[in-house]
Amino acid sequence: MEGPLSVLDDQPLPGLDGPITSSMRRTSTYSIHVTSDEDTALKALAEAVGGRMVAMITDEEVDKLHAERIKQWLSGHASKVQKIVLPPGETSKSLLTACHLLAQSDMRRRDILVAVGGGAIIDTTGWVASIYMRGISYINLPTTLLAQVDAAIGGKVAVNHDTAKNLIGAFYAPDLVVSCTSWLGTLDARQFRAGLAEAIKLAVISSTQLLAFIEQHLESLAALDRTCLQSLVHAASSIKCTLVERDPYEVDLRRTLNFGHTVGHAVETVTGYGPVLHGEAVAYGMAVAVRVAAARGVLPPAVAARIAGLLRAVGLPVLLGELRVAPAAEDVIVALDKVRQVRDGSLRFVLPTGIGSALIVDDVGHDEIRSALAAG
């Protein structure tokens, strides 16, 4: 602040008639830059940082691939850059890790966090930003396909708990997202497939054109073709923003984005957050939801076959035994029941009824779930 700020108030004494009503609303507007050129990405980052102090959060793998290089570049555009490196994977997405970050940081209220990594780093950094000093700025630099098409966008931030995935979280939007598709060139095939699962989810619930694009360009996408990847990330980012804007706090319409996540999160919880990648768990969860919808007669068999066929063509699991670590079906049901308890007895499933249409239901019973889990 430059100079003193003068504030003048003279509030009247209120009457004693009825309750006092208060209104608080926070609106967040941020840009998502999608580019295949790292120089363009870093220029957007520098402009947003604006000379402030930065705490960069990353993991050991991404540090070697990208983060150290980005830190060195950013040092010329920030007053100070502090880098905190975590172990890779979902095990770092925890309350313990969040407390560790808070203890290490010497950030001030107007400084900024920069998340460089995949979904676990972005979720954890965003949640820390939401609680530190009642909320500080953060920027997402997603380096995986899953993070670029999903995790970095929408402001849902959280850490995991033994009871359930993402149990401790908030809605807190970033200041900026910079998705550079050249960073995806370091992904292995398994990580690519896991990211594509989230793009397929988005296409099934909201876009016939996106689904057709994925089907038609599957070979080029798997080869990490930069033009195809940029088109995919740009389209998925735009579509997700549209879905989030109409329901930013997930009251109703945004819930279709949870397609595949009800069972997917339970699988991740049961297998200990790590052996099964998030995208793999979501792919299996989508297959389960598709089977429930088809069994109920709300999803035409041809559409069910199309969705399952695409997941198979990508190399994603659609059967319990195809998961990297296959939990017992009853263990998944127990995990779902724990979520049901947390949510006042309600367990919501997103059941597709076509491409771009879905039902959100809370009456899927144990027998239906058990049958869909054990299919194949």
Catalytic residue among 33, 71, 261, 291: 261
Q: Is 50 left (phi over 0), alpha (psi -120 to 50) or beta?
A: left
Catalytic residue among 254, 268, 280, 291: 254
Known catalytic residue: 198?
yes
Known catalytic residue: 166?
no
Known catalytic residue: 240?
yes
Known catalytic residue: 261?
yes
Catalytic residue among 68, 250, 322, 368: 250
The Cβ of residue 41 has, within 10 Å, a number of other Cβ atoms equal to 21
Known catalytic residue: 71?
no
**Strands annotated E in the chain:** 31-35, 51-59, 78-86, 112-117, 137-142, 156-159, 168-171, 176-180, 349-354, 357-361
Known catalytic residue: 348?
no
Known catalytic residue: 156?
yes
Catalytic residue among 140, 160, 166, 258: 258
Known catalytic residue: 250?
yes
Catalytic residue among 198, 234, 268, 291: 198
Catalytic residue among 166, 265, 268, 280: 265
Separation between Cα atoms, residue 122 and residue 209, nearest integer Å = 28
CA 14 to chain CA centroid, Å, is 45
Catalytic residue among 234, 278, 280, 291: 278
The tokens describing 337, both together, are: 């029941």
HSE, side-chain direction, 13 A CA sphere, residue 19: 2
Known catalytic residue: 161?
no
Buried b (16+ CB within 10 A) or exposed e, 240-268: beebbeeebeeeeebbbbbbbbbbbbbbb
Catalytic residue among 156, 165, 201, 234: 156
* Active-site residue list: 134, 156, 198, 240, 250, 254, 258, 261, 265, 278
